Amino acid sequence: MKNSPSLIVALDVNTLAEVRELMERLDPVVDIYKVGSQLFTASGPAAVRFVEARGKKVFLDLKFHDIPNTVASAVSSAVSLNVAIERSSTDYKDRKKPAQQSVFMMTVHTCGGAEMMKAAVEAAAKSADAIGVARPLVVGVTVLTSDSKEANISDLVLERAKLAKAAGLDGVVASCHESKMLRDTFGKDFVIVTPGIRPAGGDAGDQKRIATPAEAKKNGSSFLVVGRPIVAAKDPLAAAKGILSEIN
């Protein structure tokens, strides 16, 4: 893991016009953008293609959770979101090779179980190989940061992280409060994605288990996901620079 975690900006907006405006401001300092349920539901795969067309990485946060076969199919579709389909054939060899790489990272729910997570990783690898792109990182959501902090949350996060590791996932999504424990347990190469990041003195909103960028860095997080403190700021670029300053 790098000494400093990477910033991911959550594109929690509804339209591609808003995405364009944000990216035009943030592109000088931001390399990874999260496409989550809000934007994907509103704009579909076009949102992923739009971000990748600008040469940026996509963290596809759709939190897949279903029976193994359904999740495997969803992951396969996600890997090939940027493939330009020019024929009706289902054979990838009859399709145009993508100009960009596959999505950089995607999420599944750890509570879907070991079989589901294993199916997701295998589908990601198989689909990536078929179209000649790098396999996306697959990380498991443990406990949402909007959940109230309780005594057993750390134990639950650790249990689900162990299940994710055994199933072949690259890492997990967990709050800063658990990241040090996870780093100590799984070592430097385990990916820890930390949402609920707020700049020092920032509004918590509906997040319960939050942390500053400096705290998350100290605890060993690999990626910090920031949405509203940047997206809703009067000056998104200045807000992003401020958070990067705290990280570095």
Q: Where are the domains of the chain?
A: 6-247
Positions annotated as catalytic residues are 63
For residue 191, pLDDT over 60 is answered with yes
**From the centroid of its chain, how far is CA 104?**
8
Residue in 24, 19, 27, 128 with CA at minimum distance from that of residue 78: 128
Rounded to two decimals, what is the model's pTM? 0.88
Closest by Cα among 54, 53, 8, 2 to 244: 8
Q: What is the pLDDT of residues 89-143, one digit of tens each?
A: 444 444 444 454 689 999 999 999 999 999 999 999 999 999 888 999 999 999 8
Phi/psi at 202 (nearest 5 deg)? -75, 160
Per residue in 64-77, pLDDT (tens digit) is: 999 999 999 999 99
Alpha-carbon span 73 to 126, nearest angstrom:
11
Q: Where are the beta strands (DSSP E) in 99-195?
A: 105-109, 137-141, 171-173, 191-194
Q: Among positive and negative, which fits the CA dihedral 182, 184, 187, 193?
A: positive
218: left (phi over 0), alpha (psi -120 to 50) or beta: alpha
Place of tokens 């424990």: 181
Q: Which CATH architecture has domain 6-247?
A: Alpha-Beta Barrel (3.20)
Closest by Cα among 134, 128, 119 to 73: 119
Separation between Cα atoms, residue 212 and residue 201, nearest integer Å: 9
- Mean pLDDT (whole number) for 181-210: 80
Residues 6+ apart with CB under 8 A from 121: 138, 167, 168, 169
CA 81 centroid distance within chain: 16
